[in-house]
Amino acid sequence: MLESLRRIVQEVDNAPDLEQALAIIVRRVKEAVGADVCSVYLNDYDNRRHILQATDGLRQAAVGRVRIELGRGLVGLVSERAEPINLDDASAHPRYLCITDTGEQRYHGFLGAPIIQNRKVLGVLVLRQLEKRHYLDDEVTFVVTLASQLAGAITYARTNGELARLQDEGIPQRFLPGLAASPGIGIGIAAVVYPPADLDAIPDRRAENPQAEEDAFRGALQDVAADLDRMVARTQTNLSAEDVAIFDAWRLMLESDTLVDGTVARIRAGNWAPGALRATIADHARVFDGMEDAYLRERASDVRDLGRSILMHLQNLAAAPIAYPQKTILVGAEISAMQIVDVPRERLAGMVSTSGSGSSHVAILARGMGVPAAMGVADLPVGRAEGRDMVVDGYRGRVYVSPGPAVRAEYQRMADDDRAMSNELQSLRHLPAETTDGYQLPLFLNTGLVSEHRPLGIEEAAGVGLYRTELPFIVRDSFPGEAAQMSNYRKVLEMFAPRPVTIRTLDIGGDKPLPYFPVHEANPFLGWRGIRITLDHPEIFLTQVRAILRASVGLDNLQVLFPMISTVTEVDEALTLLRRAYEELLEEGYQVRMPPVGVMIEVPAAVYQAEALARRVDFLSVGTNDLTQYLLAVDRNNAHVAKLYDDLHPAVLRALSQTLAGARVHGREVSICGEMAGDPLAAVLLLGMGVHSLSMGAHSLPRVKRVIRSISRARAREVLQAALQCEDAASVRRILFETLEGLGLGGLVRPRR
């Protein structure tokens, strides 16, 4: 049976379309189990019915015609229970339904297995026997396994319109799910791209002339650096500081000892340049591959992308010119930054990649260029996508292949609304985030690694609410020294002075290890991270706070923030070290000042101790990303549970209220710096709660400002009261969505479905 299972799965995989996949299944299963009939019914939820979609044993003319009301009969029962039902004598069952159109006789033996994907029952695979028969456990498992094989084929057929055609109905079209990577709606024609140079296929080869190989390698590095400059020039004005930082990280990698010296050493040891490059890139990418943190794992694909770009120049591969459609949706299993930049901007309508996520390099590039993108659309068969009509919903990470006219028209309307909205947001640039009753809520930027580029949002923001210091540590080969750190911090403090800049001390840990400081833990999120590491390594902490304090000399706009605090002792110890650094620097003659200090509220324990923490410091800053993860016990990078992650969960709202109450006792301000702060829906609640400031990515700033400027504080408090009555996140979301719709701002947010 195992052998026939393997064969059938292979045949189904190779079937060109759903119709044939179903035909193979019913024929093969009937044969393998020795049943009298094998059929597949598909669920049509919109029209509330089960449709007979394939059969071997019943009349073929009945296919597509027999429609059973949803939930009726034994098919309805299997679908309802979402589990197999095995009956010796179905005709004796109260739910038995005899349908004469199918040429049915009175069958006795019955086995029905649900076809399920993502908890949803898509249909039912049914076996029947004229005689009484109880199917054996092995037979049940066999049928259940094959039913699950069908789920993917059915989903794809729904999205590309095949199912609608098969069922000859205008069934609302389905989509291929992926990850939202760059907001917006893209409508166009798919152009498929493939990796330009296959680094892994490069063999080792003896270098005839090592010096010539080394020169060629260094020349290729320069060519890539020039490409990078062109890329930055094309996107810069639209990139947030964090996004620009990724380019800087690329440049650092391009100049890093690991890449340059590693490759040159291999060339000098006798390998030719492409072989030496392949080995170096593989080593370097492996370090990132092994990381727990999804963001850092994505850097492995950046490293490979970089390797391919260098190889392309090494081999002088001029990419063959591609005739891009007027409205191109760029599609690929792995799209490189160079391939994006190759498409004339005015033709690039959207991007779809079957791998990657929102933190992929190309996703960042897409956001910078304002190109809607969905990543990780794993079910899209790239090989069959060329030339197809496509809609990319970059808000929800959805892709529609060959959409019907209704889907197209709906998305066209959304795209038109977006255009109008973005013009309007542009006009708010120089206006404050002030409510209709005159209350100003300062909006700050979240950023990390500010370079010579002047990133988006810099004029608009009230300052930097969260400067993440991890990036310069991550892209180097060893801990940066005091001077190197100081120059980084100085740049951001100078760029925003006199506006405040809140620099957070190092927040690495088991989930974000540094390549040169590996931490292996069974439970990294509950492990050695944030302040726990830096207190255990005072030399790292002291070097960093000395650099931070020195960077602020003469500017007076510094604030310091401690991450991952779970006890008051940690705050006391961190403050002691900070004071020690301050006094040392005074003794050394630096004109430093003791900055205001805050702690992050990211762990449930800190919420319950907000008052005790607030007594020790000058302000609190809530990291809602970690706080939500720890309150709900959900790792949002884990696909199995990501849908449970929701920062509008009532527990999160209560935690925020409690934090504010604790801070109020000592008259301390509370800022929100997790992603929730940049969500236009949540902005209404946070305003109503009385938080003192919000800190967010640059792209969120105009949207949140638009909301603040449209509502009064009094109304926001009313909405908050209503939201606090809710028992689940979906109800909170509904109230907020209706509020924004009522303000004419529905277009700022797309409802989650």
Contact residues for ligand PEP (CB under 6 A)? 466, 468, 507, 602, 623-626, 673-674
User: Counting beta carbons within 10 angstroms of the beta carbon of residue 539, is it exposed (0 to 12), middle (13 to 18) or buried (19 or more)?
Assistant: exposed
Between the alpha carbon of residue 258 and those of residues 284, 305, 708, the distances in Å are 8, 16, 47
**From Mg ion, ligand PEP, none, interface partner of 468 (C-beta below 5 to 8 A by class):** ligand PEP
**From Mg ion, ligand PEP, none, interface partner of 502 (C-beta below 5 to 8 A by class):** none
Of 20 and 625, the one with the shorter C-beta distance to ligand PEP is: 625
Q: What's the closest the beta carbon of residue 547 comes to Mg ion, in angstroms?
A: 21
Confirm whether 38 is a catalytic residue.
no
Element (H, E) at 610: helix 610-616
DSSP state of 434: B
Of 141 and 637, the one with the shorter C-beta distance to ligand PEP is: 637
Q: What's the closest the beta carbon of residue 606 comes to ligand PEP, in angstroms?
A: 12
Count CB-CB contacts under 10 A for residue 195. Answer: 16
Of 278 and 468, the one with the shorter C-beta distance to ligand PEP is: 468
Of 262 and 674, the one with the shorter C-beta distance to ligand PEP is: 674
- CA atoms of 435 and 416, how far apart (whole Å): 27
Q: Which of 50, 361, 649, 699 is catalytic?
A: 361
Q: Which of residues 676-715 bind Mg ion (CB under 5 A)?
A: none
Q: What's the closest the beta carbon of residue 659 comes to ligand PEP, in angstroms?
A: 13
Q: Which stretch binds Mg ion (CB under 5 A): 240-248, 624-632, 646-654, 708-716?
A: 624-632
**From Mg ion, ligand PEP, none, interface partner of 56 (C-beta below 5 to 8 A by class):** none
Q: Which stretch binds Mg ion (CB under 5 A): 4-12, 293-301, 531-539, 623-631?
A: 623-631
**From ligand PEP, Mg ion, none, interface partner of 480 (C-beta below 5 to 8 A by class):** none
Count CB-CB contacts under 10 A for residue 603. Answer: 22
Q: What's the closest the beta carbon of residue 466 comes to ligand PEP, in angstroms?
A: 6
- CA atoms of 296 and 446, how far apart (whole Å): 18
Q: DSSP 3-state assignment of 691?
A: coil
Q: What's the closest the beta carbon of residue 191 comes to ligand PEP, in angstroms?
A: 35
- With contact defined as beta carbons under 8 Å apart, do 613 and 597 qualify? no
Whose structure tokens read 């040392």?
584
Asked if 626 is part of the footprint of Mg ion (rule: CB under 5 A), the reply reads: yes
- With contact defined as beta carbons under 8 Å apart, do 187 and 391 qualify? yes
**From ligand PEP, Mg ion, none, interface partner of 79 (C-beta below 5 to 8 A by class):** none
Of 468 and 715, the one with the shorter C-beta distance to Mg ion is: 468
Of 59 and 297, the one with the shorter C-beta distance to ligand PEP is: 297
Which of these, 540, 543, 545, 532, lies nearest to 575 by C-alpha position? 545
Between the alpha carbon of residue 344 and those of residues 369, 370, 539, the distances in Å are 12, 14, 50
Q: What's the closest the beta carbon of residue 162 comes to ligand PEP, in angstroms?
A: 42
Of 456 and 622, the one with the shorter C-beta distance to Mg ion is: 622
Pull the structure tokens for residue 690.
Answer: 């009385």
- CA atoms of 144 and 142, how far apart (whole Å): 6
Of 694 and 729, the one with the shorter C-beta distance to ligand PEP is: 694
Q: Which of 108, 649, 673, 699 is catalytic?
A: 673
Between the alpha carbon of residue 553 and those of residues 123, 464, 569, 592, the distances in Å are 68, 18, 29, 5
Q: What's the closest the beta carbon of residue 488 comes to ligand PEP, in angstroms?
A: 17
Q: DSSP 3-state assignment of 295?
A: helix
Q: DSSP 3-state assignment of 31?
A: helix
The runs of H, that is alpha helices, within 108-256 are 137-159, 162-167, 210-235, 241-255
Confirm whether 726 is a catalytic residue.
no
Of 162 and 679, the one with the shorter C-beta distance to ligand PEP is: 679
Whose structure tokens read 């296919």?
63
Asked if 36 is part of the footprint of Mg ion (rule: CB under 5 A), the reply reads: no
- With contact defined as beta carbons under 8 Å apart, do 600 and 446 qualify? no
- CA atoms of 435 and 428, how far apart (whole Å): 13
Which of these, 123, 67, 119, 125, lies nearest to 97 by C-alpha position? 67
**From ligand PEP, Mg ion, none, interface partner of 360 (C-beta below 5 to 8 A by class):** none
Q: What's the closest the beta carbon of residue 597 comes to Mg ion, in angstroms?
A: 17
Q: Which stretch binds Mg ion (CB under 5 A): 3-11, 12-20, 544-552, 622-630?
A: 622-630
User: Quick one: which of 623, 662, 678, 680 contacts Mg ion (CB under 5 A)?
Assistant: 623
Asked if 511 is part of the footprint of Mg ion (rule: CB under 5 A), the reply reads: no
Tell me, rounded to whole angstroms, the distance of Cα 169 from its chain centroid. Answer: 34
Q: Which of residues 590-619 bind Mg ion (CB under 5 A)?
A: 602
Between the alpha carbon of residue 539 and those of residues 367, 388, 441, 668, the distances in Å are 38, 58, 38, 30
**From ligand PEP, Mg ion, none, interface partner of 674 (C-beta below 5 to 8 A by class):** ligand PEP
Edge-to-edge strand ranges of the sheet holding 176-177: 176-177, 398-401, 389-393, 185-192, 328-332, 348-353, 373-375, 179-182
Residues forming a β-bridge with 16 = none
Of 44 and 570, the one with the shorter C-beta distance to Mg ion is: 570
Q: How many residues bind Mg ion (CB under 5 A)?
A: 3
Handedness of CA 433, 434, 435, 439 (dihedral sign): positive
Q: What's the closest the beta carbon of residue 300 comes to Mg ion, in angstroms?
A: 22
Between the alpha carbon of residue 728 and those of residues 56, 149, 650, 718, 725, the distances in Å are 46, 34, 6, 18, 9
**From ligand PEP, Mg ion, none, interface partner of 673 (C-beta below 5 to 8 A by class):** ligand PEP
Q: What's the closest the beta carbon of residue 673 comes to ligand PEP, in angstroms?
A: 5
**From Mg ion, ligand PEP, none, interface partner of 492 (C-beta below 5 to 8 A by class):** none
* Residue ranges that bind Mg ion, judged by CB under 5 A: 602, 623, 626
Show which residues are catalytic.
361, 673
